[in-house]
């Protein structure tokens, strides 16, 4: 077994009508369908659409880090 | 009708005792009193006052983008 | 009495299972055990651990500003 | 007459189907309808929409500087 | 009365032949002709013209924050 | 159907002998061979090779955003 | 044959108990298992774990650039 | 005696009614009450309060570096 | 012959009435009068003068890299 | 026992005549004399003195994170 | 005569015992011994040495822009 | 003799097959052939070429500071 790991970091944009936390969780959930071992997230940008003078959707860009399998 | 639009982006600081999301919505609501067509927001800074060892107010600086009317 | 104050700004990482706001408050609460007069916070980074395809902990790095006593 | 001037800098987002230069000029032209004396621009962001695998619109955020009249 | 305030932040470029402090004050003075309640400033850039091997004018870009009236 | 979408943002470097706009379009075209639904681009860096005192190739790093299918 | 190439840039986190250079090489080696033509790297972050008052692992985030095959 | 030194860098906010230089000196003076060997400063932010259309206080955030005693 | 090269990177501001690309080429052409082996450029800032509501000159700050002769 | 931890992040400048890695380890070692539980480091700046056309000392600014005891 | 100019931008560190403005002027004065046509400056960093709990020297890094002769 | 010095800061890219430290030293050595009194360096970028799945050359961009003679 290797004594070191290698990780990949990808940028996912999650969105939610409810909250910033929901948008982060939606990004992680979607990414986890294809990738095992998502281990951490980092918020890169927080933005969103405005509809009728209120937030329509929060859009949160997160970097997600996961271990490359076999590493 | 023009085939291109022009937008303006202004910096508003919303505040709230409750949450970051509330502070964003307060900024948008205030701006929407004077400007129609606010279409998006971008969070620039998140900060606030501390009172008695707890957050007193969240202060969130957002850039708000709106289409310039007639453009 | 001096006509000017001097402040110190330290970096604290608060964490929470629930929300970004909770993580900020946990950072402030811990710092307030040792330091009086914490007056403001600034969010520097928002990140966290992922467990089973969901946020495990939010980790929020905040700068906390407090007046140096006697200044 | 004053021996110093004061300027304001605003953020405008110009767009164009053709080029980055066109988008910059559209931002300036729109702003010049309301403000005299726009003197310089600074490109802050260059982005745009993609339609059918090609650029649909260039969107260029520029800071525009103009002298405040009377200053 | 509302329990939260909303602020706007604008970018003004003040100039002075004498000092950086003067340039900041000139920016604030000009802005205060049109806006009540300027509450804080943040220096964004410090630059200027050179004439005959000396500073001709200091040009200081400041963000000025003021409370939106009625908020 | 979900009430929120999830996007991925990848970094592609397009190049062109002719113009910055061409380099952006080449990046988008190449990416669109493998990914449907590229929706927006953001220019991150503009650079290039110099040959015989002239631009040989423009190299433009763009972030390309596309909706993850099924989200 | 095309007169221009297109590249992709991905973020990989290599780690090593020994040195920053080793961590970079581990990132490149892992990536090269799946991708041909990795041509350059750019160090984005250098960090790591501390164990017993010494560096346990260096963790180096690198952007790796490779030509998209066929481009 | 060690052939290498170790330094700490802390963030202090000095303020002054008079000038940016005074605010820097006030930060250094306050820090020097508790720490010997402050050796350098770096200005991080320059900001302040506005009172009656003039600068009320300059607030300058400086990083102060000092050698850790015994190192 | 050395197995490694050393490069210098200088900042040149090219200008043009026509386009950003022209401004870049003007910067490279001027620099190439004095320096052989300019190998690459990186755009640092894009700005310009406005005349009568249109771009008067594009001013593009580029970093130009060239190999130091003999290295 | 709390279900969340709180960390502090301090800036230390380590130096070494030999290597960047040594400078990092010297910073950690010095900090660990006073603080238990240093858990991670982040390199912020890498610089140094030059003596006789060679590196005299590497000076590496690191942020060191440690858990606040009792949290 | 050319309808466009080309400028070079160099980084000079001026110092002064008295003020930030003096340090800027010292940088410009020294540069003007060798280069005609210094036209503008931009402050990049403000730092300095501390001696006996007071500023010993202000050190201000400025970018100086001058037209390349003949361009 | 002047009571203040003036320094220049130039950007040099050193390269090495072996290590980041070697690349830094190569940059300093080359610069010292033409300039006396190089006093400090600051690492700006660390990057390099990849050959056969391994680092071919480290390329380290450093700012080198030297006192202008006579100042």
Distance between CA atoms of residues B67 and B38, nearest Å? 7
pLDDT of amino acid J71: 83
Residue C1: pLDDT band with limits 50, 70, 90: very low
- Give me the percent of chain I exceeding a pLDDT of 70: 97
In order of D60, E8, E16, L69, the CA distances from D3 in angstroms are 34, 29, 8, 37
pLDDT of amino acid A3: 77
Domains of chain F: 7-67 (3.30.1660.10)
Residue J23: partners with Cβ closer than 8 Å, 6 or more residues away: H4, J14, J15, J16, J57, J58, J59, J60
Please check the confidence at residue C16 and state whether its pLDDT lies above 90.
Answer: yes
Residue E70: pLDDT band with limits 50, 70, 90: confident
Q: Is K61 an 8 Å CB contact of chain L? A: yes
Q: Is E57 an 8 Å CB contact of chain D? A: yes
Q: Is H15 an 8 Å CB contact of chain K? A: no
Cβ pair J41:G54 closer than 8 A: no
Q: Which residues of F touch G4 (CB under 8 A)?
A: 14-17, 23, 26, 57
pLDDT tens profile D53-66 = 999 999 999 999 99
Do L and E touch, counting CB pairs below 8 Å (3 needed)? no
pLDDT of amino acid F1: 45
Q: Is D24 an 8 Å CB contact of chain I? A: yes
Chain B nearest C-alpha distance from D62 (Å): 10
Q: Is B33 an 8 Å CB contact of chain D? A: no
Cβ pair F61:G5 closer than 8 A: no
Cβ pair H15:C6 closer than 8 A: yes
Count of pairs with CB atoms under 8 A, one residue in H, one in K = 34
Q: Is L20 an 8 Å CB contact of chain J? A: yes
Chain I nearest C-alpha distance from K38 (Å): 13
- Report the neighbours of L using a cutoff of 3 or more CB pairs below 8 angstroms: G, I, J, K
pLDDT of amino acid G1: 45
Distance between CA atoms of residues H68 and H59, nearest Å? 27
Cβ pair G11:A10 closer than 8 A: yes
Q: Which residues of A touch G15 (CB under 8 A)?
A: 4-7
pLDDT tens profile A47-68 = 999 999 999 999 999 999 999 9
Instruction: Give, for F25, the enclosing helix (H) or strand (E).
Output: helix F20-32
Please check the confidence at residue J51 and state whether its pLDDT lies above 80.
Answer: yes
What is the signed CA dihedral for C15, C18, C21, C25, rounded to 10 degrees? -50
Cβ pair K57:L4 closer than 8 A: yes
Cβ pair C39:B48 closer than 8 A: no
Average pLDDT over residues H55-69: 97
Count of pairs with CB atoms under 8 A, one residue in B, one in D = 34
What residue in A sits closest to F71 (Cα-Cα)?
A30
Distance between CA atoms of residues I43 and F57, nearest Å? 13
Are the C-beta atoms of residues E58 and E22 closer than 8 Å to each other? yes
Please check the confidence at residue I49 and state whether its pLDDT lies above 70.
Answer: yes
Distance between CA atoms of residues G14 and G57, nearest Å? 10
Unique residue bearing structure tokens 């100086």? K64
pLDDT of amino acid A71: 83
Average pLDDT over residues H27-51: 97
pLDDT of amino acid E2: 64
Distance between CA atoms of residues F33 and D53, nearest Å? 9
pLDDT of amino acid D1: 45
Nearest-by-Cβ selection for D71 from E23, E30, E61: E30
> Of B49, B64, B39, B52, which is closest to residue B16 (Cα–Cα)?
B49
Q: Is the pTM of this model over 0.90?
A: yes
pLDDT of amino acid K1: 45
Q: What is the mean pLDDT of chain I?
A: 95
Which two three-digit tokens encode residue H4? 């290498």
pLDDT tens profile C18-71 = 999 999 999 999 999 999 899 999 999 999 999 999 999 999 999 999 999 888
Q: Map chain E to HEC letters.
A: CCCCCCEEEEEEEEEECCCHHHHHHHHHHHHHCCCCCEEEEEEEEEEEEEECCEEEEEEEEEEEEEECCCC
Average pLDDT over residues H15-33: 98
Cβ pair L11:I68 closer than 8 A: no
Nearest-by-Cβ selection for D42 from I19, I47, I55: I47
Residue K34 burial by Cβ neighbours in a 10 Å radius (0-12, 13-18, 19+): exposed
Which two three-digit tokens encode residue D42? 């600074």
Average pLDDT over residues F47-69: 97
What residue in J sits closest to C17 (Cα-Cα)?
J4
Residue J4: pLDDT band with limits 50, 70, 90: confident
pLDDT of amino acid D49: 98
Do J and H touch, counting CB pairs below 8 Å (3 needed)? yes
Unique residue bearing structure tokens 């108990």? G17
Residue K61: partners with Cβ closer than 8 Å, 6 or more residues away: K11, K12, K13, K43, K44, K45, K46, K47, L9
> Of K45, I20, I28, which is closest to residue I11 (Cα–Cα)?
I28
> Of B5, B24, B28, B7, which is closest to residue B16 (Cα–Cα)?
B24
CB atoms within 10 A of CB B42: 16
CB atoms within 10 A of CB F4: 18
Are the C-beta atoms of residues A55 and B21 closer than 8 Å to each other? yes
Please check the confidence at residue K3 and state whether its pLDDT lies above 50.
Answer: yes
Do G and A touch, counting CB pairs below 8 Å (3 needed)? yes
Looking at chain I, which runs of residues are DSSP E strands? 7-16, 38-51, 54-67
Distance between CA atoms of residues G47 and D43, nearest Å? 33
Please check the confidence at residue J36 and state whether its pLDDT lies above 70.
Answer: yes
Q: Which residues of E touch D7 (CB under 8 A)?
A: 12-13, 15
């Amino acid at each position: 077994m290797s004594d070191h790991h290698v990780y990949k970091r990808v940028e996912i944009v999650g969105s939610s009508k409810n909250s910033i936390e929901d948008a982060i969780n939606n990004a992680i959930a979607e990414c986890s369908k294809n990738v095992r071992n998502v281990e951490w997230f980092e918020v890169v940008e927080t933005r969103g659409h405005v509809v009728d003078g209120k937030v329509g959707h929060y859009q949160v860009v997160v970097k997600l880090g996961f271990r490359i399998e076999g590493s």
